[in-house]
Amino acid sequence: MWSNMTAAPFLLCGFPGLEEAHRWISIPFFAIYVCILLGNGTLLYLIKDDHSLHEPMYYFLAMLAGTDVMVTLTTMPTVMGILWVNQREISHTGCFLQAYFIHSLSVVESGSLLAMAYDRFIAIRNPLRYTSILTNAKVVKLGVVTFLRGFVIILPVILRLFSFCYCKSHVIIRAFCLHQEVMKLACADITFNRIYPVIMIFLTIFLDSLIILFSYILIFKTVMSIASGKERAKALNTCISHVSCVLIFYVTVLGLTFIYRFGKHESEVVHITMSYIYFLFPPLMNPLIYSIKTKQIQHGIVQLFFKHRFDC
């Protein structure tokens, strides 16, 4: 019996009770996905193409944009599959791999924001040594470590999912697979899968946020010691974009975590809505924030627009 149940695919719901409105719901979702891909894709193209953006700050921004693109491409197929053609079935392997990439990329995004905080810390605390400290080799090492940490630390709990039998309901309430939801469907001892993610979140996302907070306390102390008010404003202005992205990411992380841990009596709609906000809002806002607040990015977008206009 277990082997038959284990072989059965999982069923994604996504929008329980709103099946009749799927086509209408698909319009804003598809528009958001397109905006995310266009916004982050434009940032990646500009940073690659514009030599004035070949600096550590923009390399880390490219890492953040690339992560947002990958998160979007990971969740988009199943979300739009449900909304467009009611494709609800997903194989166990496909589900586990989707959960692996979703959770890994969340850790990578946190690490990218930490690397960007380190960049701002060096730029303001040690401006004369900025280029000697953040060399291209150092930036590459930080990028590799950030990606490796994200993709390695998630492996243990995802590999455990492959060894479980699934004899309970195969229904997943969201339009994509998350580890915390899949593990509840297992007919096995999931103690490790309950405890390990808590430790992992503490050692990655929570610790990253504390380091970022501490770095900005030091940055603020340095800025306040600058005599010129104009120079203080200029220094703080270089941090506004990053601080905005940090707040958006960690507030949505905290919201999703609290809803999952302490909102067990909340309706499914609250849980589902919060998960969509978490996966869509930061990737949508990050390129918009940097486009508005960073003059070099603005200049690059204008040049790109006129270049294609004249080519046409």
User: What is the model's pLDDT at position 1?
Assistant: 38
Sequence-distant (≥ 6) Cβ neighbours of residue 110 within 8 angstroms: 204, 205, 208, 209, 249, 253
User: What is the model's pLDDT at position 261?
Assistant: 67
Yes or no: say if 82 and 15 are a contact pair by the CB < 8 Å rule: yes
User: What is the model's pLDDT at position 7?
Assistant: 64
Yes or no: say if 102 and 158 are a contact pair by the CB < 8 Å rule: no
Alpha-carbon gap, residue 61 to 45, rounded angstroms: 12
User: What's the average model confidence in pLDDT over 111-126?
Assistant: 94
Sequence-distant (≥ 6) Cβ neighbours of residue 171 within 8 angstroms: 10, 11, 13
Sign of CA dihedral 198, 76, 60, 101: positive
User: What is the model's pLDDT at position 41?
Assistant: 95
Radius of gyration of the chain (CA): 21
Q: Which residue has the higher pLDDT, 50 or 28?
A: 28
User: What is the model's pLDDT at position 105?
Assistant: 96
| 286-308: burial string, b at 16+ Cβ within 10 Å, e else | bbebbbebbebbeebeeeeeeee
The pLDDT mean for the chain works out to: 88
> Quick check: 28 pLDDT over 90?
yes
Among 118-132, 176-190, 222-236, 273-287, name the one with the lowest average pLDDT: 222-236
Confidence of residue 308 (pLDDT cuts 50, 70, 90): low
Write the DSSP string, 130-192.
HHHHS-HHHHHHHHHHHHHHHHHHTHHHHHHHHH----S--EESSSS--HHHHGGG-SS--HH
pLDDT digits over 62-82, tens only? 999 999 999 999 999 999 999
Among 99-103, 224-228, 277-281, name the one with the lowest average pLDDT: 224-228
Alpha-carbon gap, residue 115 to 143, rounded angstroms: 8
User: What's the average model confidence in pLDDT over 94-123?
Assistant: 96
User: What is the model's pLDDT at position 263?
Assistant: 61
User: What's the average model confidence in pLDDT over 83-111?
Assistant: 95
Which architecture does CATH list for 10-311? Up-down Bundle (1.20)
pLDDT digits over 135-163, tens only? 999 999 999 999 999 999 999 999 999 99
Sequence-distant (≥ 6) Cβ neighbours of residue 102 within 8 angstroms: 71, 74, 75, 176, 177, 178, 279
Residue count (the chain) = 312
User: What is the model's pLDDT at position 2?
Assistant: 43
pLDDT digits over 249-303, tens only? 999 988 887 776 666 666 677 778 888 999 999 999 999 999 888 888 888 888 7
User: What is the model's pLDDT at position 311?
Assistant: 58
215, amino acid identity: S
User: What is the model's pLDDT at position 274?
Assistant: 85
User: What is the model's pLDDT at position 259?
Assistant: 76
Alpha-carbon gap, residue 50 to 39, rounded angstroms: 16
Alpha-carbon gap, residue 100 to 94, rounded angstroms: 10
Closest of 43, 93, 107, 114 to residue 296, by C-alpha: 43
Sequence-distant (≥ 6) Cβ neighbours of residue 18 within 8 angstroms: 25
pTM given for the model: 0.92
User: What is the model's pLDDT at position 15?
Assistant: 80
Confidence of residue 4 (pLDDT cuts 50, 70, 90): very low
